Amino acid sequence: MKFGVRLPQDGPFASKNNLETAAKRVESLGFDSIWVHDNILWKAEDRYHVSAGTKESVEQSNSNPIFYEALLSLAHVAGVTDNILLGNAAIVLPLRNPVILGKQLATLYELSGGRLVTALCIGAEIPSTRSSFNAVGVSYKDRGKITDEYLQVLRSILKGEETHVTGKYVNFNGEEFLRDFNPKPIDYQLWYAARPRDFSRVDGPSSLRRAVQYCDGWLAGMNYTVSAFEVALKRLRDLASTHNRDLSRFTIGLETFACLEASDEIAKAVTLETRRARHIEDLSWTFIGSNTEVNARLEAYKKIGVEFFEIKLMAHSFEKYLDVMDRFAREILPSWI
């Protein structure tokens, strides 16, 4: 099993120094990867949508929410790390021209020594995402259809497939484009990040279909319990069969939260206000609790085939954020990697 850590790229701990410190610490502790996420704008009403910190730490910061751009953040930390993988969870694909994004990702992949993995999504259902779509001039309601076309283009560029895409939103000739495109990545990993919910359609949910058709992994998100995974994984395998897709090298992952304390009660108390703000009630999909509880949850996910976890550390200060990271590496990682 592999574990990555979300960096303080946004929210109360976001700063150049903290970004560098966290990236170096994650690598030194033996985690598999470091991660950032994506948006253009970050509104005050989403200030508790933190990837590093807690509601209390947001209120203590008493400042406008900071959100560093995803690709430039990874480019920066690539320069202060050596071997650790660099991940996006996830790039809001409809907000970006897929040809320019392909060039950016291929360049970062090359300059980082092939350390890049990219998860893609249609965009979270939060005010900041809607505002970002409006700012860029892209239709929020059409973001799924746009994503389907853009995914084909991006896969063609990063996988070297001579795909022709003629659609409503893009007209792309992969054969012609790739003739003059360099550097060309080798074995680039594209994942799809989503929380599939509607299983009523035979060829759905659309998110799982996109993962199977175009990507090399699926990263599930908020509130994706073991039972939810079991339903989704059955559909994923059915879709793979329909689309003649081999899943032997397909990564199944979960984006989750972590707060390790001496007891479940202490961990619940530290995270209570944040969990209320983020509507997190069922803790079984999180690593919030004691070592015993976290290890039991990991075992449950392992049994159904989940092999990667991207963890967002909950703490009231940056120093405590680093402490939680240290403790997870010292007390949890050795049993699972």
Task: Give the pLDDT confidence of 83-110 residue by residue, as tens digits.
Answer: 999 999 999 999 999 999 999 999 999 9
Which tokens go with 5? 């850590």
For residues 287 and 259, the answer to whether their CB atoms sit within 8 Å is yes
- C-alpha span between 210 and 205 (Å, rounded): 9
Residues 113, 255, 102: CA angle, nearest 5 degrees: 40
pLDDT for position 197: 82
Mean pLDDT of the chain: 95
Residue 307 burial class via C-beta count within 10 angstroms: exposed 0-12, middle 13-18, buried 19 and up = middle
87: which strand partners? 35, 117
Other C-beta atoms closer than 10 Å to the C-beta of 98 total: 25
Other C-beta atoms closer than 10 Å to the C-beta of 167 total: 14
- C-alpha span between 87 and 271 (Å, rounded): 25
State pLDDT tens for residues 215-250.
999 999 888 999 999 999 999 999 999 999 999 999
pLDDT range class, residue 167, cuts 50, 70, 90: very high
223 closest CA partner among 304, 310, 289, 286: 286
What is the average pLDDT across 298-306? Answer: 97
CATH 2.40.50.140 fits 2-335, yes or no: no
pLDDT for position 61: 87
pLDDT range class, residue 320, cuts 50, 70, 90: very high
pLDDT for position 64: 81
- C-alpha span between 84 and 300 (Å, rounded): 27
For residues 120 and 93, the answer to whether their CB atoms sit within 8 Å is yes
More confident residue, 203 or 166: 166
- C-alpha span between 26 and 35 (Å, rounded): 10
> Would you list the DSSP string of 25-84?
HHHHTT-SEEEE---S---GGGTT--SSS-HHHHHHH-SPPPB--HHHHHHHHHTT-SS-
What is the average pLDDT across 62-75? Answer: 91
Measured in whole angstroms, the distance separating CA 192 from the mean position of its chain's CA atoms is 8
Percent of the chain with pLDDT over 90: 93
pLDDT range class, residue 201, cuts 50, 70, 90: confident
308 backbone dihedrals φ, ψ, rounded to 5° = -140, 140
State pLDDT tens for residues 30-61.
999 999 999 999 999 999 998 899 999 999 98
DSSP 336: T
pLDDT for position 74: 98
pLDDT for position 138: 97
pLDDT at 202 over 70: no
Other C-beta atoms closer than 10 Å to the C-beta of 163 total: 17
- C-alpha span between 87 and 201 (Å, rounded): 31
Please state the pTM of the whole predicted model.
0.96
